[in-house]
Amino acid sequence: MSNITASPAIGAPRSLSTGAIITALAVITVAALLPLMLSTYHLGLATEVLIFGLLAMSIDILAGFAGRTSLGHGAIFGVSTYVVVYAVMTAGLSPLVACLLGVLAATALGAVFGLLAVRTSGVYFLLLTLALGMIVWGICLRWTQVTGGENGLRGAIRPALLSDYRAFYWMVLAVTAVLSLAIWRFVRSPFGLTLRGIRDSDSRMRSLGYDVSLHLFIGFTVSGLFAGAAGAMYALFNSFVSPSTVAVSQSVEALLMTIAGGVGTLFGAFVGSAAIIALENIASSYTERWQTVLGVTFILIMIFAPEGIVGTIRALVARLKH
């Protein structure tokens, strides 16, 4: 197993170091104090950073640790949002039950995607997840009776307890912190190590006796669960869902966050999410051409910094140490 743990992208130790615990606590403390400093508008942005950071992290489970880049996670995320809004507004369920149903639906969709995609890798995996995401988008757009078609579904679904924007932010922060710890633990479990082995060489893992397809399937399903949790929180945050929530651009933006943060860095997802959301807001005050800015950002990152922000910093630090 030594050649797997010593993979180039991840040199982090398996147990928590004191430094890591202190850093994590410091980051969470600062994040928890943000509501006392920020305006309503900026706190809303911070909430979005956390939600989309979690989505980007769920993509990183596959991209960084199983070597499979997904362009379908926006659809998984958005299906959860749809289910939550629909369950509260039409079926009259409580928000908590609705959120659980949303996560369940996303997990199931992740399992379906996984079932179809486990046999592919590289570009084909990307194309298949892109196409699967398009199916979901097409259904959400056309199945007007349930999804409201182009108009989407709207309604105040946030429970009274969380109606205050600060309380809501703290809830999102708590959930995101717990879930990202769970993801961190997941990729460092023996199961996560096997995924990394598959990323480095699936033929090697197969000949060592591992069931590659089963591992990838479970990995995709778990990733869907976390994307669904992000989607459910987004439903409560936005109280609105339309086909653009499940569209390809959602998947693209989320993947860009993963890449901007650094594939395989896990917590880089939040850095990427913050960078892209900040960029979106700064850009939107100067120009209406957000799509162009997004596209140019994508091109520049691909050419100059495919390792992402955190990945590049790590590489620099590693170079300084030597």
Partner 1 sequence: MGMNAFQLLNGLTFAALLFIVASGFTLIFGLLRIVNLAHGALYLFGGYVGYTVAVKTGSFTLGAIAAMIAVALIGLALNQGLLRFVRGNDLRQVLLTLGVAFVLNDMALVIWGGDSFTVPIPDALKGGLTFFGIFYPKYRLFVLLVGVLVLIALYLLLFRTRLGALIRAGVDDAEMVEASGINIRRVFLATFVLGSALAGLGGMMGGAFLSLYPSADSEILVFSLAVVIIGGRGSLLGVAIGSLLVGLLNTVGQVMFPELAYFVIFGPMALLLAFRPLGLFGKAT
What number of chain residues touch partner 1 (CB under 8 A)?
A: 39
Select from 218, 182, 217, 226 the least CA-distant residue to 80. 226
Rounded to a whole number of angstroms, the minimum distance from the CB of residue 49 to partner 1 is: 21
33 lies in the site for partner 1, by CB under 8 A: no
Q: Closer CB to partner 1, residue 47 or residue 69?
A: 69
Q: From residue 75 to residue 94, what is the string marking binding to partner 1 with x (rule CB under 8 A)?
A: --------------------
Select from 239, 229, 89 the least CA-distant residue to 171. 229
139 lies in the site for partner 1, by CB under 8 A: yes
Q: Closer CB to partner 1, residue 143 or residue 191?
A: 143
Residue 256: CB partners within 8 Å, gap ≥ 6?
272, 276, 294, 297, 298, 301
279 lies in the site for partner 1, by CB under 8 A: no
11 lies in the site for partner 1, by CB under 8 A: no
- 271, two tokens: 């850095």
DSSP letter at 240? E
Tokens 């403390």, located at residue: 29
250 lies in the site for partner 1, by CB under 8 A: no
Is 241 in a helix, a strand, or coil?
strand
Rounded to a whole number of angstroms, the minimum distance from the CB of residue 10 to partner 1 is: 18
Q: From residue 182 to residue 211, what is the string marking binding to partner 1 with x (rule CB under 8 A)?
A: ------------------------------
Question: What do you get for the CA distance between the two ends of the chain, in Å?
Answer: 25
Burial 3-17 (b: 16+ CB within 10 A, else e): ebeeeebbeeeeeee
Residues that bind partner 1 (CB under 8 A): 69, 115-117, 119-120, 122-124, 126-128, 130-132, 134-135, 137-139, 142-144, 248, 252, 255, 259, 289, 291-292, 294-299, 302-303, 306
